[in-house]
A and B are shown apart, each in its own frame.
Chain A
């Protein structure tokens, strides 16, 4: 229990020290800022997939809900950062509630397909309402709007700390859930939902909560991504942005708190490296997906937990 909390806090501390001691080059600092926000998205995904055992193929919907709600409100309505963040969170929570309510009428494979479909509707709608969303091209959030408590969020240092703050928040929420009785029930539903039902749990309601938490964290990550990096575009709503968090979680370890971060770091640099060599760098994603399903089902942290450190959350 103790060891576990120390482990996770030290991971955050390391991320903090890397920056404050100036170990990062500018290039890696920028990369890590992105990775941290994306890993927060992965944490959101993991709540639903890793803990509750529901495989969604449509999380880009939640990510882009946050991204567009906050981005559009800044772009069109001149919202400030607080207001737009708040709106992003509310909209993604609301959308998770609605999608959860509808999609949970199905189970198993149909759940995966239905989430994929919903996300596709969102993607196509973004393209269709191009006059508002600027479609495929997307839009830039001006540096002048990206100021929070008179801090310039486009400043690399501030941006990194903000990203770390958001990731830490999401990760700690995840850790807390993992240790709470609520989290135990989610795991029970993942392991055997029929049994959980027969122990008297309102399985549907738990699943709905799980989707709402997962979707809201994903939306928060989306909103922050737009604000910190200043760009909102339809590619973030496309299928590949639903596959990425799945992949990060699988590589890092489904149902582990640090898994999404490890997976995101790994994939980010792998893709970064591959894209220098070929335009077809997404082939890496394909190979990685096959690799984890065929040879490494538990992922990195999952394997460590299974073999050596049973106490890791």
Chain B
């Protein structure tokens, strides 16, 4: 292949990455924005979503699209409920103290990850694509499903944006994000909101997982890398800002995809992480910096 088409190919791959990454990062950013906590277990909710998608679709024989639709229906709920439960059983009792919460979510990370290992074993699990159409793009063929992933992510992001800006629920979230004490004084049930947001953040990541797993396979260790990238995105994109998160996800996802294709995945991650360091040096109080321990 010549350079031009090759670059196009790499960009398309990057866009698929970016689409899924923006969902994962958005979940992380939502939780950080509203609850002011860093959820280190976020990547494991993603992983859980992927593995349960495999599990659900393994029940359905015949057309893989049925399994996929079933997964879209139940997986976000299962993963969301897992998160709701961990908030209710654990984080709530820590009063969301930043340090204790980080340590506890690391604990949750290991428990979910090792639970997946125990229950589903160490092997990577393939999930069939719901439809198998190859589009001929003149220089190369490209899976139609990958376009579907990009498209679905855009739809979902738009939906989230609408909910955040146009509904009463969105207003409650924004009010809590701005000033939780005042919000509470106005009768917003903060602990319920937190509970829901934590579940929602995980569920969004799970949707990302459902979309990616027919391309990538499910594995119990798959949560680490997206977590790192999501951190990078949230730091670069600006806290709790939906637009910033999406923009940064596209930047990071695309460059990760392109650099991975041309050079090596490790170099892509090293560069992205270095970018964060640069951002933090230029803007030390950016993002997380404004919250104190």
Binding site for B on A (CB under 8 A): 53, 55, 57, 102, 105-110, 112-114, 116-118, 120-121, 124-125, 127-128, 239, 243, 246, 250, 278-283, 285-290, 292-294, 297
The CA-CA distance from A285 to B115 in the complex, in Å, is: 12
A290 with B273, Cβ < 8 A, contacts A108-B292, A110-B280, A278-B118 known: no
Q: How far is the CB of A51 from chain B (nearest CB, A)?
A: 15
The reply to whether B293 and A107 form a contact with Cβ atoms under 8 Å apart is yes
B109 / chain A contacts, CB cutoff of 8 Å:
286
Q: Looking at the assembled complex, report how far the CB atom of A176 sits from the nearest CB atom of chain B, in whole angstroms.
A: 27
* Given A106-B284, A110-B287, A114-B277, A283 and B111 contact (CB-CB distance below 8 Å): yes
Q: What are the residues of chain B within 8 A of A125 when measuring CB–CB?
A: 266, 270
Instruction: Pick the residue among B90, B269, B276, B289 that contacts A290 (CB under 8 A).
Output: B90
> Which one of B49-57, B98-106, B150-158 is at the interface?
B98-106
Q: How far is the CA of A294 from the CA of B93 in the complex (A)?
A: 7
- Asked if A55 and B122 make an inter-chain contact with CB atoms under 8 angstroms apart, the answer reads no
Within 8 A of A (CB), among B69-116: 90, 93-94, 98-100, 102-104, 106-115
Enumerate chain A residues within 8 angstroms of B114, measured Cβ to Cβ. 280-283, 286
In the assembled complex, the Cα of A250 lies from the Cα of B107 at a distance in Å of: 13
Contacts of A110 in B (CB 8 A): 235, 280, 287-289
> How many angstroms from the CA of A293 to the CA of B113 in the assembled complex?
19
The contact sample of 16 A-B pairs, CB cut-off 8 A, is A53-B293, A106-B288, A110-B289, A113-B38, A117-B276, A120-B273, A124-B273, A250-B103, A279-B118, A279-B122, A280-B114, A283-B118, A289-B107, A290-B111, A293-B94, A294-B94
What's the minimum C-beta distance from B281 to chain A, rounded to whole angstroms?
Answer: 6
For B108, give its contact among A107, A118, A286, A288 (CB under 8 Å).
A286
**CB-nearest residue of chain A relative to B276?**
A117
The residue in chain B whose Cβ has the minimal distance to the Cβ of A240 is: B110
B interface: dominant SS: helix
Residues of B within 8 A of A (CB): 38, 90, 93-94, 98-100, 102-104, 106-115, 117-118, 122, 224, 228, 231-232, 235, 264, 266-267, 269-270, 273-274, 276-277, 280-281, 284, 287-289, 291-293
- How many Å from the CB of B101 to the closest CB on chain A? 8
The one of A285, A292, A294 in contact with B110, judged by C-beta atoms closer than 8 angstroms, is A285
Given contacts A124-B270, A290-B90, A293-B94, contact A108 B293 (CB under 8 A): yes
A289 in contact with B106 given A112-B38, A124-B269, A294-B90 (CB within 8 Å): yes
A57 to B93, CA, bound (A): 23
- Out of B99, B117, B270, name the residue touching A128 (CB < 8 Å): B270
Q: How far is the CA of A282 from the CA of B118 in the complex (A)?
A: 11
The answer to whether B106 and A243 have CB atoms under 8 Å apart is yes
B291 and A289 contact, CB distance less than 8 A: no
Name B121's closest neighbour in chain A (CB-CB): A279
Closest to B274 in A: A121
A118 and B277 within 8 A (CB): yes
**Given the interface contacts A121-B273, A239-B224, A294-B90, does A108 sit within 8 Å of B110 by beta carbon?**
no
Contact between chains at A105 and B118 (CB < 8 Å): no
CB distance from A54 to the nearest CB of B (A): 9
B103 lies within 8 A of A293 (CB): yes
* Closest chain A residue to B107, Cβ basis: A289
By the criterion CB–CB under 8 Å, are B122 and A112 in contact? no
**In contact, A282 and B113 (Cβ under 8 angstroms):** yes
Query: B277 contacts A293, CB within 8 Å?
Result: no
- When distances are taken between beta carbons in the complex, the residues of chain B under 8 Å from A107 are 289, 292-293
A108 touches B291 (CB 8 A): yes
**A99 (CB) vs chain B CBs: closest residue:** B277
CA separation between A239 and B194, bound complex, in Å? 28
Whether the pair A102, B106 counts as a contact (CB closer than 8 A) is no
A108: chain B residues at CB < 8 Å are 98, 288-289, 291-293
CA distance A53 to B281 in the complex (A): 22
Distance in Å: Cβ of A293 to nearest Cβ of chain B: 5
Query: Contacts of B117 on A, CB cut-off 8 Å?
Result: 279-280
Q: Are A102 and B94 in contact (CB under 8 A)?
A: no
**Given A243-B106, A282-B113, A289-B106, A124 contacting B288 (CB threshold 8 A):** no
Task: List the A side residues contacting B270 at CB < 8 Å.
Answer: 121, 124-125, 128
State the 9 A-B residue pairs at the shortest beta-carbon distance, nearest first. A286-B110, A289-B107, A110-B288, A283-B114, A286-B111, A280-B114, A108-B293, A105-B284, A290-B107
Report whether A128 and B266 are in contact in the complex, using a CB–CB cutoff of 8 Å: yes
Q: Given A281-B114, A286-B112, list of 16 further CB < 8 A pairs?
A: A105-B281, A110-B235, A112-B102, A113-B231, A117-B273, A117-B276, A120-B228, A121-B270, A128-B267, A128-B270, A279-B117, A280-B114, A282-B114, A283-B111, A290-B108, A293-B90
